[in-house]
Structure 1
């Protein structure tokens, strides 16, 4: 009985050491895995998608030019409501139902409307 107990204690100790080493040396991979598992969590989704570069390996791409093309701006007033297939809805309700984080409207190749919601920014 004592031999079995000693074997179990030794096995548990060995397992603890292995787990400790994995956590120590693979912490960044484990942290990414935990973040990915909560990617679509309702309380974290906005922050997760706004900070993707912290969650995944990435490589910044260099533009082929030092002066990238910027879209011209031609501000337009957005309607308060719209109708689609016989159904009317306010734009505010549409954004709230979909938990919209950003809305960009282009018209004739120009930025007509740009809005960031739920704490997002132009740099997200």
Structure 2
């Protein structure tokens, strides 16, 4: 299976972005801390968004999902990166020319993977910007 050099460069650029993003997301220093949760709750009470008698329940709810989303994002990013790496390993391992049907299947797979990677990047791009500040 052969891959168009332009497409290969695009996917490699996405691969680099995914790796950069994974490094940020997998670092526990970037995860929400208990102090951040407490401070957020205090701000909500002070602004009137949350009543004082709701703090206990809200704290328990937030602690139950403590760091869950950060870990899920990191895992999803790594899964995407692994899929791209596997795809390249399959492509690079097969040096025989592909027929038109294989080329079309490859184009569809690349388009699907690009779309999925861009969606993942759009979801976490704000986090990348916040972590660099």
Could you say whether these structures have the same fold, taking a TM-score greater than 0.5 normalized by the shorter chain as the test? no
Under a length normalisation based on structure 1, what TM-score does the superposition of the two structures give? Answer: 0.27
Higher helix fraction: Structure 1 or Structure 2?
Answer: 2
Which structure has more relative contact order (CA 8 Å, sep 6+)? It is 2
Higher strand fraction: Structure 1 or Structure 2?
Answer: 1
Over alpha carbons, which structure has the higher Rg?
1
Under a length normalisation based on structure 2, what TM-score does the superposition of the two structures give? Answer: 0.25
